[in-house]
Amino acid sequence: MTQTTLLAIDQGTTSSRAIVFSDGGKILELQQKELKLHYPHKGWVEQNPEDIWNDTLQVCRSAVKNSAKIAAIGITNQRETTILWDRETGAPVYNAIVWQDRRTADLCARLKEQGDESAVRAKTGLLLDPYFSATKIAWILDNVKGARARAERGELAFGTVDSFLLWRLTGGKVHATDATNAARTVLFNIVEQKWDGDLLRLFDVPRSLLPEVKDNVAAFGVTELFGPKLTVGGMAGDQQAALIGQACFERGMVKSTYGTGCFALMNIGETFRESQNKLLTTPAYRFDGQTAYAIEGAIFSAGSAVQWLRDGLGLLEQAAQSEALATSVEDNNGVYFVPAFTGLGAPYWRPEARGLIAGFSRESTGAHIARAVLEAQAYQTLDLMAAMEGDGGHRPAVIRADGGLTANEFVCRFLADMVERPVEIPHVTETTAWGAACLAGLQAGVFDGPEDIARTWEAARRYQPSMTPEKRQELYGGWKNAVQMLL
Ligand code: ADP
């Protein structure tokens, strides 16, 4: 008997991937294509929507070729990236403006000066920042000839990447998104779960552009592009999908993803709360019309600091060698590294800050720097956890970690020591794609409910804290000093 499988589309910033999973989370097929980023001006970041689509189609076709019994498709995607297209022809009006793009910084600053941020925060849980979609939409409408007039005539559609892919997969039949992606536009009121008239006026975005917003599990649409009819049964933004893949369905559960940067999300339950520490509030997921919220915190430089050891300092040939180098010395010997390459995020919020190496002495070596870089992952997480716990009103019992850096056992162990609780690494390492597959599985009846997904979650590795409180205090104190020097 062939087993039931699920197809996950994981459309990320640097690559488009299609993964066929077994219903237990085993990867049966994985296809991937790198995606190009374009930098037409300083601070501008774009992608070609046709590349996004063609790559996605190609990886899906390759992945399903040898796969049988696909029950449904789940989509997860880079969030906030903005696409406008013609409803008649499906042709994009402009390139996709990627989340990293800063071209609307002045507009955001102007709105902030007008005093609009507190209302935005209370409705969306977000900040006034170019990161989010609304000002990107306004930019396209105001800078592409004729776009605003076409939008006002109802000829154009807006979507984040999930929505654009769904439109293309369904041959232009469905214009919809899910609550987690809608939440990243700053146009969606996450408390009332609806597009917000005041926000649409504030950002000057016509309502006719917007997709319908559905639960994360829904019959989004049907595609016939891969042979038999397949339903897109689940969609979620990448960080939320990772939270779902990590089965963080209870209040107080945390997932922390260590890739280029680090994103931590804590499930805070069904009541919206505004962060008091400049973190974001965002829907974790919406099932059967019921929203669970999360507090989200970002560390800008995580794995990128390891890349810098390799490419900037030439201390390593491969990221994985950082572990042997860091553990070739007994301790950090007083050396601390604050990886503020692109500013310091939560809870410091100093975008103008830059990196710092502190505590160097005559005996210090490259190994101490490597160690300081790896230790910094844990110090930064502890800073973030303190802020999140303040906001969420809950101390998580464990941290479920994933991402490339968690291959490094020293990082995992030191993280457990610093946060003084167990760190668990799941057996499904592709948590983001698995989260999308889980959503599709819920829609298709492969899973009966979140509890079913939680049952498939299993730790492949578990790290218990073992450091003495004195040692921990001393190390964390050293980090705090280094951050103070920088500030
Ligand atoms: P992204 O999804 O952001 O591209 P990944 O989750 O693939 O990131 O993680 C890649 C990052 O993890 C890179 O920055 C790399 O330097 C780092 N990395 C991968 N393996 C290790 C390792 N064994 N030790 C330390 N860092 C690692």
* Structure confidence by residue, pLDDT tens digits, 188-201: 999 999 999 999 99
Instruction: Tell me the per-residue pLDDT of 88-104, one tens digit each, with 9 for 90 and over.
Output: 999 999 999 999 888 99
Contact 209, 156 (CB under 8 A): yes
DSSP class of residue 82?
B
pLDDT at 2: 59
Rounded to an integer, the average pLDDT of 151-177 is: 97
pLDDT at 354: 87
376 Cα to the center of ligand 1, angstroms: 15
Q: Which amino acid is at 147?
A: A
pLDDT at 484: 94
Rounded to an integer, the average pLDDT of 390-408 is: 90
Task: Give bridge partners of residue 232 from the DSSP assignment.
Answer: 73, 221
Report the nearest-CA residue for atom 13 of ligand 1: 303
Q: Which atom of ligand 1 is nearest to the CA of 320?
A: 23
Tally Cβ neighbours within 10 Å of residue 460.
11
Question: CA torsion, points 449, 454, 456, 457, in degrees to nearest 10?
Answer: 150
pLDDT at 349: 78
Query: Exposed, middle or buried, 366 (CB in 10 Å: 0-12/13-18/19+)?
Result: middle
State the chain's mean pLDDT as an integer: 94
Burial readout 13-30 (b: 16 or more C-beta within 10 A, e: otherwise)? beebbbbbbebebebbbb
| Nearest C-alpha neighbor of 279 from the set 295, 268, 294, 264 | 295
Rounded CA-CA distance 293/295 in Å is 7
Report residue 156: phi and psi, to 5°.
Answer: -110, 155
Task: Give bridge partners of residue 214 from the DSSP assignment.
Answer: 178
Contact 133, 82 (CB under 8 A): yes
Stated as kind and residue range, the H or E segment containing 96 is strand 96-97
Rounded CA-CA distance 414/416 in Å is 5
| Nearest C-alpha neighbor of 412 from the set 465, 371, 456, 448 | 465
Contact 102, 130 (CB under 8 A): yes
Binding-site residues, ligand 1, Cβ < 6 A: 14, 259-260, 303-304, 306-307, 319-320, 322-323, 403-405, 407-408
- What are 30's two structure tokens? 């994985």
Residue from 17, 34, 260, 461 to probe ligand 1 pocket by mutation (most atoms less than 8 Å from CB) = 260
316 Cα to the center of ligand 1, angstroms: 14
Rounded CA-CA distance 164/173 in Å is 11
* Predicted confidence band of residue 182 (pLDDT cuts 50, 70, 90): very high
Contact 196, 189 (CB under 8 A): yes
Report the nearest-CA residue for atom 18 of ligand 1: 405
- What are 420's two structure tokens? 């003084």
pLDDT above 90: percentage of residues in the chain: 85
pLDDT at 334: 96
Query: Exposed, middle or buried, 213 (CB in 10 Å: 0-12/13-18/19+)?
Result: buried
- Residues 285, 287, 288: CA angle, nearest 5 degrees: 155
Report the nearest-CA residue for atom 19 of ligand 1: 404
Residue from 14, 374, 405, 434 to probe ligand 1 pocket by mutation (most atoms less than 8 Å from CB) = 405
Q: Which atom of ligand 1 is nearest to the CA of 306?
A: 16
- What are 445's two structure tokens? 């009846």
Rg (CA), the chain: 22
Q: Which amino acid is at 441?
A: G
Helix (H, G, I), strand (E, B) or coil at 261: coil
Rounded to an integer, the average pLDDT of 224-249 is: 96
Q: Which atom of ligand 1 is nearest to the CA of 323?
A: 24
Rounded to an integer, the average pLDDT of 133-158 is: 97
Contact 401, 460 (CB under 8 A): no
- Confidence (pTM): 0.93
Report residue 61: phi and psi, to 5°.
Answer: -60, -45
- β-strand 399-402 against 356-358: which pairing, if any? unpaired
